[in-house]
């Protein structure tokens, strides 16, 4: 997958050299490119913002650098895919919710461009104009306001990257995650344990040592139902009610 990130803080993305994502980049699974928005400014101060029309607090990102940046980035796509069009992702608190289901869809795309806004946001014409040339999604990572789109982009890039084939050692671990499509779609994952079997007088639940895979699966599902009821009861009302069988009702 090819990912381009346009930002005024390219250094913000140093963590993308570490861990799973760093390895995926080295392995050629992920091609991440950073672009400094200021390289598309032409004044002495490399200005990217100005006061809002209509008044009000804060500053708005100017359309000209963004227009040039998106033209340049969208014209230089992955090799061998000449004429390809990226999907433009714009992190904003006023976007649609970024969910695991949306991450799954984005993981199937060959090329994403993230446009990181700062201040009060990007001039509204930029996305309007971009949308005439490429699919655009405004996405929010939660109902709170960050100082800019950079940390939201890190969250989304990490969430999408770990879904790419070859990035995680064990593909099954994705299927058992909280929110994973399928059995876990509207459930939270329960507790997990490793050795030693007794620690500070506390035992690992015996069923996990039983070797009975059916019993282990049943126990994990029960734990997921309990955890969801405790932390996020509203999730139990989501999805098809027939996803609960008789034994689920007994929990």
Residues that bind ligand ADE (CB under 6 A): 91-93, 140-142, 144-146, 149, 152
How far is CA 26 from its chain centroid?
21
CA torsion sign for 77, 79, 84, 86 is: negative
- Which of 120, 158, 189, 248 is an active site residue? 120
Query: Is 48 annotated as belonging to a binding site?
Result: no
Nearer to ligand ADE, 77 or 149 (CB): 149
Query: Is 237 annotated as belonging to a binding site?
Result: no
Shortest distance, CB of residue 148 to ligand ADE, whole angstroms? 6
- Which of 52, 63, 78, 93 is an active site residue? 93
Query: Is-catalytic flag, 17?
Result: no
Query: Is 146 annotated as belonging to a binding site?
Result: yes
Query: Is 157 annotated as belonging to a binding site?
Result: no
Query: Is-catalytic flag, 177?
Result: yes
CB 148 within 8 A of CB 37: no
Which letter, b or e, does each residue of 127-143 get, where b requires 16 or more Cβ atoms within 10 Å of its Cβ? bebbeeeeebbbbbbee
CB 114 within 8 A of CB 3: yes
Q: What are phi and psi of 235, to 5 degrees?
A: -65, -25
Query: Is-catalytic flag, 120?
Result: yes
**Could you give the CA distance from residue 73 to residue 218 in angstroms, rounded to a whole number?**
49
Shortest distance, CB of residue 118 to ligand ADE, whole angstroms? 9
Query: Is-catalytic flag, 57?
Result: no
Positions marked catalytic: 93, 120, 162, 177
> Would you list which residues are annotated within the binding site for S-adenosyl-L-methionine?
117, 141-146
> Would you list which residues are annotated within the binding site?
117, 141-146
């Amino acid at each position: 997958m090819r990912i381009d990130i346009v930002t005024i803080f390219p250094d913000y993305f140093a963590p993308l050299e570490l861990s799973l994502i760093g390895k995926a980049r080295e392995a050629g699974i992920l091609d991440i490119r950073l672009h400094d928005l200021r390289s598309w400014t032409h004044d002495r101060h490399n200005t990217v913002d100005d006061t809002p029309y209509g008044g009000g607090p804060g500053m708005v990102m100017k359309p000209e650098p963004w227009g040039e940046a998106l033209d340049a980035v969208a014209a230089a796509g992955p090799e061998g895919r000449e004429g390809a069009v990226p999907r433009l992702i714009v992190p904003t608190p006023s976007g649609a919710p970024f969910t695991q289901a949306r991450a799954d869809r984005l993981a199937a795309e060959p090329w994403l461009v993230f446009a990181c806004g700062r201040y009060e946001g990007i001039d509204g014409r930029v996305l309007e104009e971009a949308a005439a040339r490429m699919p655009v999604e405004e996405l929010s990572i939660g109902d709170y306001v960050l100082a800019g789109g950079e940390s939201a982009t890190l969250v989304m890039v990490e969430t999408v990257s770990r879904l790419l084939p070859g990035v995680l050692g064990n593909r099954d671990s994705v299927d058992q995650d909280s929110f994973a499509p399928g059995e876990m779609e509207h459930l939270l994952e329960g507790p997990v344990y490793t050795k030693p079997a007794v620690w500070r007088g506390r035992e690992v639940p015996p069923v996990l040592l039983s070797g009975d895979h059916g019993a282990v699966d049943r126990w994990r599902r029960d734990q997921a139902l309990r955890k969801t009821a405790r932390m996020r009861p509203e999730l139990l009302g989501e999805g098809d009610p027939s996803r609960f069988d008789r034994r689920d009702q007994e929990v």
